[in-house]
Amino acid sequence: MRMRAAVLEEFGAPLAVQEVELAEPRAGEALVRLHACGVCHTDLYTASGADPSGYAPTVLGHEGAGVVEAVGPDVGSLAPGDHVVTLFSPQCRECVHCLDERTNLCLAIREEQNKGHLPDGTTRISRDGEEIRSFMGCSTFAEHTVMPEIALAKVSPAAPFEHACLFACGLSTGLGAAINTAAVRPGSTCAVFGAGMVGLGAVAGCRLQGAERIICVDLSPQRLELARGQGATDLIEGGEGTVDRILEMTGGFGADYTFEATGNVAVMRQAVEAARMAWGLCTVAGVAGRGETLDVVPRLLITGRRIAGSSFGGVKGRDQVPVLVDRYLAGEIDLDPFVSHRITLDEVNRGFELMEAQDGIRSVIEFS
């Protein structure tokens, strides 16, 4: 079939919206008609050329939601008409990692996915006979996509697509960092660095876990107010004195749990330093730039602080994304403030511009 898609032709250049060919789903795959897709920082990171593992040409996008239109052979968990959220972090439910509660890093298709291929080592997208690779196994800046069954989470059809798509990456990453990775205890004090999509998700996750005090740090007063709406009890405009302020607010000890959601290594260090001595846990969810390192004074660790990384919030996508969506439908998470701009596929580059200007939280592409 022919469809319209936003193709990354070369790094640093605007995406080109054009017609491409999409092949039918093969064994273990499903054809999905996209209805909404968030414009995530990871897409911009790759488009800019900063991602050392990036490739072109490719159709970017990974934060999608839509409806299954067809399935290939051997697909057992999905059927035409199912509402789904795309998963850049799949869940095969069979590999050694999927069977272990300690991680969500499925191994089943990781090697081919990193090459821009579907599990069989090929792609479904082409243009005039030229192969176009699949981005993060998703390629959702397009009217349709073909994806592995194990990389699609079946969700309630009651969830609006513009909200469901947020669970495909940023929102689940933040929620999961608090719920899964840190497993925040009720009555605790948390500090979240960054009030973008991931940070706001972490604030909401801390609230859902029963945290008594949630301190949010950001440079933007507008974003801090959004954090208040998600459950933040204290707001700090970031800067050099941030750690001292958090220590002051916590009797000199620091927060029981800290979360870094900016990708800035200087902020990561602040998050470590603001964690409580004896048992403080710093969860790093932001993605740092190529070659950057985190500089930590070892004594901070010797005196009891710990650092954990969190990929997709430790969320096992096919099992846990539907649960998070149900919690949203039950009124536990307010997503209206997260959708800042609604754009068309032709306006995808404007979505990048809005992100670079830090205008709002998420631009969502709506497909007619």
42 carries an active-site annotation:
yes
Cα separation, 215 vs 232, whole angstroms: 6
Any idea how long the chain is?
368
Q: Name the catalytic one among 35, 207, 318, 362.
A: 362
Q: Name the catalytic one among 98, 138, 190, 216.
A: 98
62 carries an active-site annotation:
yes
Cα separation, 151 vs 92, whole angstroms: 8
Residue 51: phi and psi, rounded to 5, are -75, 115
Residue 188: phi and psi, rounded to 5, are -85, 170
Beta strands across the sheet bearing 189-193: 234-237, 213-218, 189-193, 257-260, 281-284, 306-309
Among 225, 229, 18, residue whose Cα is nearest residue 125: 18
| Residue recorded with tokens 């945290």 | 211
Q: Identify the three-state secondary structure at position 296.
A: coil
216 carries an active-site annotation:
no
Amino acid at 256: D
Q: Name the catalytic one among 4, 95, 350, 366.
A: 95
Q: Name the catalytic one among 37, 92, 165, 282.
A: 92
290 carries an active-site annotation:
no
Q: Name the catalytic one among 29, 37, 63, 269.
A: 63
User: How far is the CA of 192 from the CAs of 240, 316, 328, in angstroms?
Assistant: 16, 23, 21
92 carries an active-site annotation:
yes
190 carries an active-site annotation:
no
Among 48, 43, 81, 45, residue whose Cα is nearest residue 64: 43
41 carries an active-site annotation:
yes
37 carries an active-site annotation:
no
40 carries an active-site annotation:
yes
Pair 44, 55: CB distance under 8 Å: no
110 carries an active-site annotation:
yes
For residue 57, say if its preceding peptide bond is cis, omega within 30 degrees of 0. Answer: yes
- For helices 242-249 and 265-273, the axis angle rounded to 10 degrees is 20
Pair 253, 263: CB distance under 8 Å: no
Q: Name the catalytic one among 93, 110, 306, 341.
A: 110
Q: Name the catalytic one among 29, 35, 37, 40.
A: 40
Q: Name the catalytic one among 37, 58, 83, 106.
A: 106
Q: Name the catalytic one among 138, 165, 169, 216.
A: 169
Q: Name the catalytic one among 29, 35, 37, 41.
A: 41
Active site residue ranges: 40-42, 62-63, 92, 95, 98, 106, 110, 169, 362
